[in-house]
A and B are shown apart, each in its own frame.
Chain A
């Protein structure tokens, strides 16, 4: 609210404006990548290779997606998924696993006949598959723009089949 409208409100005796709640700013590209890197460092050398490889893969997809996030537009659920995977879903899954004693996590069945390690691998696979799907969708969208541009150029510059070459005989 500007000082001018604030002054007018006071002169008119209008109601106190509601204080807008402070919303956290969106994480920057560096923050997103930093979050994934932090997870990578935490798992380095402490987890089975199956987990490290999956974390790496997710990290690569995120790094690939970050510069293209604006392609998804404002209020995109998919952009949210990419950001939240890097800053929340991935770290929380990995940290929950890391909190467990190694022996317990890798050997003890905890749910549906699966160990914590197997549950984590399932979760990482789901995240990875989701990210790949989103990445594909963005690429397809970009490809569509190219197709559309081609159609526009075609429309604008293609000559009519009835056009006769200049200087030629009809």
Chain B
């Protein structure tokens, strides 16, 4: 809209819609790679250096107590149990979150933004049909309008189509906006899950740190004990060290699965962002084509399209155009000549439609690629979750830990080092 709504501005028709810039390409994120358990601790949130002394102290204190306890005493049994239940609650929590996250790619493919049945999928489909119906170069128009003598009946009929499809277009654009809202809401929820999972992964990493520390200290002590009391060393190896290592492995596996879930979530979030961008582009190209149609109809067919809703968008400007043509008519100026010299013509309208097609095609291409990478991601996730199920069975067997809390819980370490 121009700043000077006066005679000077009135002589200027609406400016044509901006040219399709170097076309927006929607990029599907790369499929997820398998995360090896050995890589997991390095990828997960690091153990806070401030926590290291407390964790070390706890692990060392545990080994010291263990070494003092009589192998037959109840205290020894309790210490051995502590290792078995260490971090179980966090493992279960991480498993619950990551299982939920691991389901999301499957759900995404079935009913997410990428699927045809989603709001976005349905409305894009409807948009393509509607656009094809209005396309000035479509065979359905009867004769091509390009090169067609202007001011004919056909031209008038053609532009009348816009009026009849107004309601449907409005419904499509509304549905696209709603679809965008859904995608944004999904992303907000996924981001929250990601943050929770990040915290849980941090705690798993703390347990891994402790398990490693206990392993090192215990192995060293056992090497000394081998010389003095081989029987007790054997008992410690079987009843404690074995479980320390098993727990270490469980923690690593759960951490790796959590990282997979985290990465899978990232892929979905990125897909959703791309779709949001695509929908934005689809609505703007459609609306700019409609605006172009209003102008072209006005300029070439001297036909005021009663697209209330579109014209409302630019009411001042279109009122001015209407006013101008009225004045021209009153002055019996050659309106045809004026129209022929208009800068916006059928070619521009054609270009506007080409832009819509390009957008819809790029969204389709994106969807195909994204669905493909999603399928690969789901493949990776399936094998990984199968691996993780073994140790989950183990943690379920020790569910009483949930009630008691083991001696090796990291809870409260960062606050008051209470244990």
B174: chain A residues at CB < 8 Å are 23, 26, 80, 83
**Binary CB contact string for chain A from 21 to 54 against chain B (1 if under 8 A, 0 otherwise):** 1011110000000000000000000000000000
Assess whether A148 is in contact with B5, with CB atoms less than 8 Å apart. yes
Q: Which of B166, B311, B315 contacts A141 (CB 8 A)?
A: B315
A152 within 8 A of partner (CB): yes
Shortest distance from the beta carbon of B292 to any chain A beta carbon, whole Å: 14
**Per-residue 0/1 for A71-89: is the Cβ within 8 Å of any B Cβ (1 yes, 0 no)?**
1111111001001100010
Give the residue of A71, A72, A152 whose beta carbon is less than 8 angstroms from that of B320.
Answer: A152
CB distance from A99 to the nearest CB of B (A): 15
Show the binding face of B for A, using Cβ within 8 Å.
1, 5-7, 10, 122-123, 125-126, 129, 140, 166, 168-175, 177-178, 181, 283, 286-287, 290, 307-316, 319-320, 323, 327
In the complex the two chains form, what is the Cα distance from A121 to B417 in whole Å? 37
- Are B177 and A84 in touch, CB under 8 angstroms? yes
**Partner pick for B311 among A73, A77, A83, A149, CB 8 A cutoff:** A73
B319/A145 in contact, CB under 8 A: yes
Partner of A74, one of B7, B10, B126, B307: B307
Secondary structure call for the B interface = helix
Tell me whether A103 is interfacial, beta carbon within 8 Å: no
Q: Considering only CB atoms, which chain B residue lies closest to A144 in the complex?
A: B316
| Neighbouring B residues of A71 by C-beta, 8 Å | 312, 315
- Measured between alpha carbons, how far is A21 from B169 in the docked complex, in Å? 13
> Which residues of chain B come closer than 8 Å to A74, judged between CB atoms?
166, 169-170, 173, 287, 290, 307, 309-310, 312-313
Name A75's contact: one of B1, B283, B327 (CB within 8 Å). Answer: B283
Tell me the bound Cα distance from A33 to B323 in angstroms. 36
Contacts of B168 in A (CB 8 A): 23
A-B CB contact pairs (8 Å), 23 listed: A18-B129, A20-B129, A21-B123, A23-B123, A25-B171, A26-B170, A71-B312, A73-B310, A74-B170, A74-B290, A74-B310, A74-B313, A75-B287, A83-B174, A84-B177, A141-B316, A144-B5, A145-B315, A148-B316, A151-B5, A151-B7, A152-B10, A152-B323
